[in-house]
Amino acid sequence: MNIFIINSGSSSIKYQLFKMPNTKPICTGLVERIGLENSIITHKLLKGDEEKIIRKTMDLVDHEAGLQQVAELLTDKEVGVIKDPREIEAVGHRVVHGGESFASTTMITKEVKAEIKKLFSLAPLHNPANYLGIEVAEKIFTLAKQIAVFDTAFHQTMPPVAYRYAIPQSFYSERGIRAYGFHGTSHKYVTAKTLQYLKNDKAKIITIHLGNGCSMTAVNAGVSIDTSMGFGPLNGLIMGTRSGDIDPSIIFHLVNQLGYSLDQVNNLLNKQSGMMGLTGFSDMRDILKGIAAGNEQAELAYDMYAYRIKKYIGSYAAVLNGLDAIVFTAGVGENDCAIRQMICAEMDFLGIKLDEEKNKVRSASLREINTDDSPVKILVVPTNEELEIVEQCFELIEKQPSVLS
């Protein structure tokens, strides 16, 4: 079964094609700079251990033009992997915000699209782009079933004590203002891998997704019970350009005393804060270079980043009433051994004991980096959101085989 996975951004499209039930993609790609001059398509063919890369530069006015070029690559006489776009039987879409309407992977209908559209105001940077990806895919892959996988779905198991805010009831009941959480596709994927590795489906774990965006989730027996991101993806940990937790009084001070507009505050907290605001860099590799060169501000930012994560580990261990494992994932979590060491330092009271030599080993596989006598496992689990999406789509189709008939 040919299942095509699309992750549509405001000016980009990530994609992978799987021939399920084989979970290794047969091609992957990225379309960048859509709507700008010199758009770039990077298309990778994967056959066994061989990888062939095709790069194209052209002007792509919109997402439809970009996806049309991808369809041409998929069906190209020399490098194509299918003969016709109609051979794609299902298209899986990453949709960032599902609100309270969607707690699981969902077949896309007119009604589902209308609901996704209603949620634009809750994720103005993401849902419109995700919606556009659905509209374009419907035009190009005309026989495919369109399926939505929601980033918020994994966190729909959180209890009210975790997702409600202490503001008047009407803001929740009438306006849907509550914590939703994000990165759910990644947290769900690494949770499943961790439970399988531990051979314990009742394990209490904390998953730590550290990329440009960062979030943590308290997981009890495979179920999300709390997560650091909230109503939007700004809350919680210090991120590449986002502030994370901040006293709301600062916003009022910026507007009322310093003359900032709300748009300026929004831009400040989302795009100019976090590690970028503290150091001038959002990439951890640049910050590590700064630390090596004696940059005290970079060192402070790194300390703050780790400190915030440690605070959340403590609070989530309390919520879980115990801890079996902590899990590092995503770009920084998987590759930055120094930040993992800082986070795990002086955490032995919680049973977290890092093995420094194991921590330095680089690998693309799931690995254990705790000492042999550590009561809590410390794992590095590479995330794979596209694989999680395709597996959820395939599972939905297997449960409802009539949808392809």
Q: Quick one: average pLDDT of 16-40?
A: 91
Q: Which of 49, 62, 84, 151 is catalytic?
A: 151
Is 210 flagged in the annotation as binding?
Answer: yes
66 assigned ligand-binding residue = no
285 marked as binding residue? yes
- Of 131-135, 343-347, 351-355, the range with the lowest mean pLDDT is 131-135
pLDDT reported for residue 401: 64
pLDDT in tens, 122-171: 877 788 888 988 999 999 999 999 999 999 999 999 999 999 999 999 99
Task: Compute the CA torsion angle 203, 179, 239, 134 (nearest 10 deg).
Answer: 100
The topology (CATH level 3) of 200-385 is Nucleotidyltransferase; domain 5 (3.30.420)
| Annotated binding residue 7 | yes
Asked about 151 being catalytic, the answer comes back as: yes
pLDDT over 60 at 405, yes or no: no
CATH architecture group of domain 2-150: 2-Layer Sandwich (3.30)
What per-residue confidence (pLDDT) applies to 107?
95
Q: Which residues of 367-403 are buried (b: 16+ CB within 10 A; e: fewer)?
A: bebbbeebebbbbbbbbbbbbbbbbbbbebbeeeeee
- H/E stretch holding 113: helix 110-118
331 is in an annotated binding site: yes
C-alpha distances (whole Å) from 67 to each of 29, 133, 349 are: 11, 9, 52
Six-digit token pair at 7?
């992750």
Would you list the domain boundaries of the chain? 2-150, 200-385
Give the chain's count of helices (H) and strands (E): 15, 14
* DSSP letter (8 states) at residue 376: B
- For residues 371 and 353, is the Cβ–Cβ distance under 8 A? yes
Instruction: Quote the pLDDT of residue 249.
Output: 98
Write down the residue that tokens 């009890």 correspond to: 220
pLDDT tens-digit map of 289-318: 999 999 999 999 999 999 999 999 999 999
Q: Does the annotation place 14 within a ligand binding site?
A: yes
C-alpha closest to that of 175 among 221, 132, 251, 121: 121
* CA-CA-CA-CA torsion sign (41, 46, 47, 53): positive
Annotated ligand binding at 237? The verdict is no
User: Cβ distance 82 to 88 under 8 Å?
Assistant: yes
Instruction: Evaluate the CA torsion angle 211, 373, 222, 172 in order and state its sign.
Output: negative
| Confidence bin at 229 (pLDDT 50/70/90) | very high
DSSP 8-state symbol, 352: B
Please report the pLDDT score of residue 127 as a whole number. 87
The single-letter DSSP state of residue 354 is B
Per-residue pLDDT, averaged over 35-63, amounts to: 89
- Helix (H) / strand (E) element for 66: namely helix 63-74
Q: Which two tokens stand for residue 271?
A: 């795009």
For strand 2-8 and strand 90-95, is the pairing parallel, antiparallel, or unpaired?
parallel
Interval 273-294: pLDDT, tens: 999 999 999 889 899 999 999 9
- Is 93 labeled as ligand-binding? no
Burial 24-58 (b: 16+ CB within 10 A, else e): ebbbbbbbbbbeeeebbbebbbbeeeeeeeeeeee
Task: Specify the pLDDT at position 404.
Answer: 54
The DSSP secondary structure of 276-335, one letter per residue, reads: HHHHS--SHHHHHHHHHTT-HHHHHHHHHHHHHHHHHHHHHHHHHTS-SEEEEEHHHHHH
Q: Do domains 2-150 and 200-385 have the same CATH topology?
A: yes
What value does the mean pLDDT take over residues 162-187? 95
DSSP-derived letter for residue 365 is: S
Would you give the DSSP letter of residue 370? B
Residue 229 annotated as binding? no
* Cα(205)–Cα(223) distance, integer angstroms: 10
DSSP, res 239: -
Per the prediction, the chain carries an average pLDDT of 93
